[in-house]
Amino acid sequence: MTTVILGGEDDAFAWCHEQGISPLSVRVALGPSDAWKLRGNVQVVQLDRPNPYIEQHLANRAEGRPPGLFIVFEGGEGAGKSTQARRLAGRLYGLGHDITPARQPGGTELGWHIRRLLLLDERRDIPSDRAEALLYAADRAHHVRTVIRPSIARGAAVICDRYVDSFTAYQAAGRGLPEADVRWLNDFATDGLIPDLTVLLDLPPEEGLARVLRRRGANRLDKEALDFHQRVRQRFLDLAAADPERYLVVPADAPQEQVATTVAARVDQLRARRAETAGDHAVV
């Protein structure tokens, strides 16, 4: 069955979430005036507001562009996330993908200012744990709305350095904030947007922090106690174990080339599956 949603972006993604349909399976968007074009076994859900990405979805399909991808690199400090994100972005660009590099916090102009507030410790007024969580959520909400969703809609591959799992690991496991509150903030900030693939670069925190000190010096987060970083690492591993279909766990102490090869193989599998299922759902 082809699933077609007519109407607003926010309601469409919410409906997808309720029905267990990945919003990232979006292929085609049709406006209400295009409903007459639909034939066959179609389920139509009428929504209120127009989808701002309708024209872009139609253009992607008409021009045969590949569907957008959302790939996230997660892990503790010094695990090599930025390096591997750049390597994957370069590889996918060479294969013809439109690439949107991204990072959190700091992936927008607003996010850059939030990043400075969060990570620099040169001020005396350090954010409290709850204020810190809200600042991260604000960065993520703005980034998703202004960069990530539009990029996916136009068919780009978004390669992001940190996303919701970092928020869960650092705020819930590291800071000890209530899990339910952290989960709600994540859902609210991202409007339910989940990556196609999360690559977890796993590294003992002792080694990762030593790498950081050799490379750039410690920021406010790096200076947390070792047991903080150990709790963060364990939460990352727990999240990956709970959803192995969406995660790839790679030992980050392996040579960079070996890590990149492992990541590329999994991404190739993802791209092949996406190509096979293109057109199964048309969500508009």
Q: What is the pLDDT of residue 273?
A: 81
Q: Side by side, which strands form the sheet with 99-103? A: 99-103, 157-161, 69-75, 197-202, 247-251
Predicted confidence at residue 40, as pLDDT, reads: 43
For residue 76, the model assigns a pLDDT of 93
What's residue 64's pLDDT? 63
Q: What pLDDT is recorded for position 38?
A: 43
Numbered ranges of CATH 3.40.50.300 in the chain: 69-277
* Segments of the chain scoring below 70 in pLDDT: 1-67, 121-124, 276-284
Which pLDDT score is estimated for 284? 36
Cβ neighbors of 60 (< 8 A, separation 6 or more) are 27, 67, 154, 155
Cα(10)–Cα(193) distance, integer angstroms: 11
Q: What is the pLDDT of residue 260?
A: 97
55: three-class secondary structure by DSSP:
helix
**The pLDDT of residue 150:** 87
Burial 73-86 (b: 16+ CB within 10 A, else e): bbbbbbbbbebbbe
Residues linked to residue 6 through DSSP beta bridges, in sequence order = 46
Which whole-number Å values give the CA distances from 170 to 33, 132, 149, 176, 232, in the listed order? 46, 11, 24, 8, 6
Distance CA 48, CA 160 (A): 31
| Euclidean distance between CA atoms 153 and 164, whole angstroms | 20
- Measure the CA–CA gap between 251 and 266, rounded to whole angstroms: 15
Distance from the Cα of residue 171 to its chain's centroid? 17
Neighbours of 245 (CB within 10 A): 5
The CATH T-level fold of domain 69-277 is: Rossmann fold (3.40.50)
